[in-house]
Amino acid sequence: KSTRRPLMAGNWKMNLNHLEAIAVVQKLAFSLTEEDAERVEAAVLPPFTDIRSVQTLVEGDKLGVGYGAQDISVHDSGAHTGEISGVFLAKLGCTYVVVGHSERREHNGETDDVVAAKVQAALRHDLVPILCVGEGLAVRQDGRHVEHTLAQLDAALDGLSAEQAARVVIAYEPVWAIGTGEVATPDDAQEMAAAIRARLESLYDGDVAATVRVLYGGSVKSSNITPIMAGEDVDGALVGGASLDPEEFASIVRYYR
């Protein structure tokens, strides 16, 4: 864990227009100290239409806040109305892109194959995919959560080299904890993060397993993040609702204090 820099990434989902985005990122940057920035990486994942505004702020003022997108097309250009190419995201200076969020798997028909193609699209453009995996409630109640989540992981990484896999961030997001206020226990988060890391070691090698950051996501707040981060294999959080409030998100970034 000591070699991996914690990442707190704020998934805004479909919230905050490009003007509201400016206010939130400014407040966030204002709340974070140099020590926070040294110890923890903070990033925001706004809607596509906000990214240019965020880029201008972050570049102009060296705010120390990273940013990225919430989705990416599997294609790079052409007749794909409404899709957003990784070429454009890279040109806008994005570092990250969320891939395979459970809301997209559930409501936009994203299969494991689509998710794998999006991971590859991200890597093709030097974007870091934040690959979301995690089980629903019925699977957890059946005790098949580890098996289910690792199958999603295997499918999404299929065909990647060790060098490519080492660039991926993995977010374990149990679907029953997303937006529900019901957070996984620190032991649940650690159990799955360790299982994911062990799978990376068996799919690749110890270097990949030691390099990849594994985040927890699902109803993270400043009041519950510290014990979750105590897990040896938990390297940060993907934060939805609580990332819309810059003071609250800054408190999450400062979990170590």
**Which residue has its beta carbon closest to ligand PEP?**
240
Helix (H, G, I), strand (E, B) or coil at 132: strand
Q: Which of 66, 100, 240, 246 is in the footprint of ligand PEP by CB under 6 A?
A: 240
CA proximity to 138, closest of 96, 176, 108, 183 = 176
Is 240 within 8 Å of 217 (Cβ atoms)?
Answer: yes
Cα–Cα distances in Å, from 236 out to 48, 172, 231? 23, 10, 10
> Which window, 18-26, 71-79, 138-146, 218-226, contacts ligand PEP (CB under 6 A)?
218-226
Q: Which of 65, 238, 252, 253 is in the footprint of ligand PEP by CB under 6 A?
A: 238
* Chain centroid offset of residue 115 CA: 14
Among residues 41, 110, 173, 248, the one annotated as catalytic is: 173
Our finding on whether 100 is near ligand PEP (CB under 6 A) is no
Among residues 41, 101, 135, 145, the one annotated as catalytic is: 101
Tokens linked to 212: 């990849």
Our finding on whether 218 is near ligand PEP (CB under 6 A) is yes
Count other C-beta atoms under 10 Å from residue 57's C-beta: 17
> Known binder of ligand: residue 13?
yes
Our finding on whether 71 is near ligand PEP (CB under 6 A) is no
Distance CA 70, CA 129 (A): 10
Our finding on whether 220 is near ligand PEP (CB under 6 A) is yes
Min dist CB 56 to ligand PEP, Å, is 25
> Known binder of ligand: residue 176?
no
173 part of the active site: yes
> Known binder of ligand: residue 241?
yes
Our finding on whether 193 is near ligand PEP (CB under 6 A) is no
Count other C-beta atoms under 10 Å from residue 29's C-beta: 19
* Binders in 16-35 for ligand PEP, by CB under 6 A: none
Nearer to ligand PEP, 45 or 127 (CB): 45
Cα–Cα distances in Å, from 2 out to 8, 14, 158? 16, 34, 28
75 part of the active site: no
